[in-house]
Amino acid sequence: MLKTILKGVFGVTRDMKVLLCDDSMTVRKKVGHMIQFLTECIVYEAVNGQDAIEQYEEHNPDLVFMDITMPIKDGLEAVAEIMTMHQDAHIIMLSSVGTKSNLEKALKFGAKDFLQKPIDTDELKRILTQFEEEQHV
């Protein structure tokens, strides 16, 4: 099992904070459980892009998984707004089939990578491992 603990000031450890934003409660629960199985973390949930922006400001997550198509404010708008305020944000897009042009926009706005739905455990593990390695460089 992948274990991700980030080192804080004076070597104090803390669990990684993950923000998972999807308008589907089923997706949030399933992907949230997958993330917590693969790494030690706290998972915060957001139901739309506006909620994600507010949750980002409140919790300052280490990693964000963001759906593209959502009500109120979509994932593209949320990525653009978060990246404007936090250039170091690490956002991974969650996409369904048929959203290639939106994925390209999200990457231009600053998203780091994407996962295709339904989420594959090995691909999720690859993203988490890559993120952990980048944090220790």
Determine which of 18-22, 54-58, 117-121 has the lowest per-residue pLDDT on average.
Answer: 117-121
Task: Supply 23's token pair.
Answer: 């308008």
On average, the pLDDT of the chain sits at 87
Residue 127 has pLDDT above 50, yes or no: yes
In angstroms, the CA 23 to CA 45 distance is 10
Give 38's Cβ-side CA count (13 Å radius). Answer: 21
Give residue-wise pLDDT tens across range 62-75.
999 999 999 999 99
SS3 102: helix
Give residue-wise pLDDT tens across range 98-109.
667 888 889 899
SS3 112: coil
Q: Which pLDDT value is given to residue 135?
A: 82
Task: Supply 56's token pair.
Answer: 């980002």
Percent of the chain whose pLDDT exceeds 70: 87
Residue 4 has pLDDT above 80, yes or no: no
pLDDT band (50, 70, 90) for residue 40: confident
The model's pTM is: 0.87
Q: Which pLDDT value is given to residue 48?
A: 97
Give residue-wise pLDDT tens across range 75-94.
999 999 999 999 999 999 99
